[in-house]
Amino acid sequence: MNITKKLNHLDLKLIAIIKRIGRFADKHNIRAFLVGGFVRDIFLKIKNFDIDIAVDKQGINFAQFLSKKLNLKIISHQRFGTAILSLGNLKVDIATLRKEAYPYPGSLPVVREGSLADDLARRDFSVNALAVGINKDDFGMVFDHFNGLADIEHKDLRVLHDKSFLDDPTRILRLVRFAARFNFSIETKTLNLLKQARLAGALENMQKQRVREELFLIFEELEPEKAIKLLDKLYGLKFIHKNLRLAAADYQRSVKVREVCDWFEREFYSRRKIDIWLMYFIVFLSGLEVDELEAICKDFVLKRGESIRLLSFKRSQDIFKKLNKASLKPSEVYNILNPLSYEVILLFFAEIKNKQARRHIINFFKRYNLTRIKLTGNDLKKLGVRPGPRFKELLGLMFKQKLNSRLLTKYQELSALKRLIR
Ligand code: ATP
């Protein structure tokens, strides 16, 4: 099968770059193929700007050469002849064809150079094991060693061999992620192999740190609750924490989180980007106790900022109750909310029904959070205040007044400051 026509219908920028990569490969006597999710998504008619390329030799050199010729930035070098290049929203992954062997279940693979057939055989599912030639003599030619095309057509996910999940249990997480994303079924034998992996405790036996990346990718999906629900049904969630149990309501909460994030991004598009994946993760873990969450932070080696947000959501439940009072002054609302991250505040916003508390949070985002005093240290010095603790105290008082009395101009601030000094 040849899909030159389909390739020519890709986004102009994509096809131009693919053709140039093919020509460079020809010039250097290298065989180059499109592989992985990029090929899968061509057949699924899904836009994908992450091009996966496999070459038969010297992946790193080829990537360095391409980066110079095509003016692409090399953003990372990885193990065994792979590199990632970027150009705006476009990413090009270059890897050398390889063969992998797993000395024991769940181990890191032993990797050496291999043929195209070896490289396709090491992959997770048949739908991800297609390759398309981009050299001149086989441009558009599809290499389908594992019947991936038929599986795409039947919307089936199928592993390539019986030991797949035992070799690399993170494929279980990939399986539910793709099944949920594409609404694909899991082929019967693959389902049985998954059950065997569950009985063998494949994910539980793995270091959590090694599961982390694939687990977090689930939370980056548009509707992660679908994949988590499927994971819970087919494998269970004990590998995350032995006491983790989810009920129907927990999946509903995740929908709420999405609504709140959509609202926030629409209304406050210029603020910092929120880590929505972390919010989903926090929501699903919120039934656990603080010490259990601390264990998760440690086992999954969460970054400091991630751990702080995860724990602070649990620890701040009482703090948020204070927002139910209508009589709170803006500065009081500010003092409650400002120490918390956007993610934690939005998670509460997704859950609370109290009208007053909701109003306070909206005001915090709309006004208080953006408030800055216009007066500077110099203005204070001009009024005779010497730098020191009094200086800081006055600026703090000014800020409070600015919030509570809505001082808008520098002149108003100055008058208020003079009154304070007096
Ligand atoms: P996405 O659309 O989420 O980016 P992708 O299929 O492009 O998915 P990547 O993680 O970028 O996934 O991996 C690229 C390719 O590498 C996959 O399509 C698959 O062929 C192969 N691959 C990735 N992870 C594994 C794994 N754990 N086991 C086997 N093959 C893998």
Strand partners, 131: 35, 143
Identify the residue whose C-alpha is closest to ligand 1 atom 5: 37
Task: Decide if pLDDT at 133 tops 90.
Answer: yes
Task: Decide if pLDDT at 80 tops 70.
Answer: no
Residue 152's pLDDT is: 97
Q: How far is CA 191 from the centre of its chain?
A: 27
C-beta of residue 217 within 8 angstroms of C-beta of residue 177: yes
pLDDT band at 78 (very low <50, low <70, confident <90, very high): low
Sole residue written with tokens 């109750």: 321
pLDDT band at 414 (very low <50, low <70, confident <90, very high): confident
pLDDT band at 326 (very low <50, low <70, confident <90, very high): confident
Task: Decide if pLDDT at 59 tops 90.
Answer: no
Task: Decide if pLDDT at 146 tops 90.
Answer: yes
Distances (CA, A) of 285 to 126, 160, 297, 394: 33, 33, 11, 42
Q: Could you state, in order of their start, the residue ranges of all structural domains in the chain?
A: 4-154, 155-240, 268-370, 377-421
- The ligand 1 atom at the shortest distance from the C-alpha of residue 41 is 2
Report the alpha-carbon angle 139-144-148, nearest 5. Answer: 125
Lowest mean pLDDT among 115-129, 357-371, 404-418: 404-418
For a mutational test of ligand 1's pocket, the pick from 174, 218, 220, i.e. the residue with the most ligand atoms closer than 8 A to its C-beta, is 174
Task: Decide if pLDDT at 130 tops 90.
Answer: yes
Residue 402's pLDDT is: 80
One of 3.65.10.10, 1.20.1300.10, 3.40.50.720, 3.30.460.10 is the CATH number of 4-154, namely 3.30.460.10
Strand partners, 52: 93
pLDDT digits (tens, 9 = 90+) for 186-221: 999 999 999 999 999 999 999 888 899 999 999 999
Task: Decide if pLDDT at 132 tops 90.
Answer: yes
Of the candidates 26, 34, 9, 30, the one whose C-alpha atom is nearest the C-alpha of residue 92 is 34
Q: What is the CATH number of domain 155-240?
A: 1.10.110.30
Sole residue written with tokens 């129907």: 248
User: How far is the C-alpha of 95 from the C-alpha of 30, rounded, in Å?
Assistant: 12
Sole residue written with tokens 């090491």: 122
Q: What mean pLDDT do residues 307-317 have?
A: 90
Identify the residue whose C-alpha is closest to ligand 1 atom 9: 37
Query: What percentage of the chain carries pLDDT values higher than 90?
Result: 57
**Ligand 1 centroid vs 131 CA: distance in angstroms?**
13
Q: What is the pTM of this model?
A: 0.89
Q: What mean pLDDT do residues 87-100 have?
A: 89
pLDDT digits (tens, 9 = 90+) for 219-251: 999 999 999 999 999 999 999 999 999 888 888
> Helices 224-234 and 248-267, interaxial angle, to 10°?
160
Q: What mean pLDDT do residues 79-104 have?
A: 85
Identify the residue whose C-alpha is closest to ligand 1 atom 4: 37
For a mutational test of ligand 1's pocket, the pick from 82, 102, 128, 221, i.e. the residue with the most ligand atoms closer than 8 A to its C-beta, is 128
Q: Residues lining ligand 1, judged by CB closer than 6 Å?
A: 36-37, 50, 52, 123-124, 128, 168, 170-171
User: How far is the C-alpha of 88 from the C-alpha of 268, rounded, in Å?
Assistant: 24
Query: What percentage of the chain carries pLDDT values higher than 70?
Result: 98
179, containing H or E segment? helix 170-182
**Ligand 1 centroid vs 82 CA: distance in angstroms?**
14
C-beta of residue 173 within 8 angstroms of C-beta of residue 262: no
Q: What mean pLDDT do residues 39-58 have?
A: 93
> Token pair of 350, please?
């997704």
Distances (CA, A) of 47 to 10, 142, 233, 363, 414: 8, 19, 30, 38, 55
User: How far is the C-alpha of 271 from the C-alpha of 346, rounded, in Å?
Assistant: 13
Identify the residue whose C-alpha is closest to ligand 1 atom 30: 123
C-beta atoms surrounding 239 within 10 Å: 22
Mean pLDDT of the chain: 90
pLDDT band at 129 (very low <50, low <70, confident <90, very high): very high
User: How far is the C-alpha of 160 from the C-alpha of 220, rounded, in Å?
Assistant: 26
Identify the residue whose C-alpha is closest to ligand 1 atom 24: 124
Beta strands in 6-138 (DSSP E): 32-35, 50-55, 73-78, 82-87, 90-96, 98-101, 110-113, 131-133
Quick one: DSSP state of residue 272? Answer: P
Q: What mean pLDDT do residues 300-320 have?
A: 90
Task: Decide if pLDDT at 403 tops 90.
Answer: no
Indicate the burial class of 234 (C-beta count within 10 angstroms; 0-12, 13-18, 19 or more): middle
185, containing H or E segment? strand 185-186
Q: How far is CA 420 from the centre of its chain?
A: 48
Domain boundaries 268-370, CATH class: mainly alpha
